[in-house]
Amino acid sequence: MDGEVGEGHLTNITGLELTDSTLWSSSADRTAKGWDLASRKQEMKLIHSRVVKSVLGVPQAGIVVTGDEEGVVYMWSMTTGEIVKEIHAHLDGVIKFVLHKGVLYSASLDATVRQWSIRDILEFPGLKYGPEPVSSDAEDSVREDAAALSRAGGSKSNSIGLTAEEEAELAELISSDDDDDN
């Protein structure tokens, strides 16, 4: 199976996922596409208003899930190509989806992972379904390390974790920007 699968995208491909019979791709050209693996023909083109960062086909639920650069998760009907659900899930681009036992997980550049029950989302279309953060051992470990550093008098004492040198450099940059504006 050499060569291209289909016509491709107009620019960068940002995601690629496979179901039993379809290859799904997302792109900076603001589309997600599905190609039939046997015929190598494009089956579906989902047009977005922003860069599409990730895609996941979920044939058992009859949907395709996409995530854009602004943190919005879209669920599309595989039958009609229409948006079934739109969730403002993250503060930055959605870069990966994983489906496990009916739960959809999304990962974002905002350093969060969110989860939703596919069944709940599809059965209650009017439901304002908010994101649920997923706690992780790694996240807890980072919090514990930061607390220990703070208790030990570590150098990262301010609320955003800058060293004294970094804080001084930031203040200088802000000051010089203010001077440039005048």
- Model pLDDT for residues 52-61, shown as the tens digit of each residue: 999 999 999 9
Is the confidence at residue 32, as pLDDT, over 50? Answer: yes
Q: Is the pTM of this model over 0.85?
A: no
- Model pLDDT for residues 79-91, shown as the tens digit of each residue: 999 999 999 999 9
Domain segments of the chain as ranges:
13-133, 137-181
**Listed residue (100, 52, 92) closest to 76, CA to CA:** 52
Question: CATH assignment of 13-133, given 2.130.10.10, 3.40.50.1370, 3.40.50.720, 2.40.340.10?
Answer: 2.130.10.10
- Beta strand 63-68 pairing with 22-27: unpaired
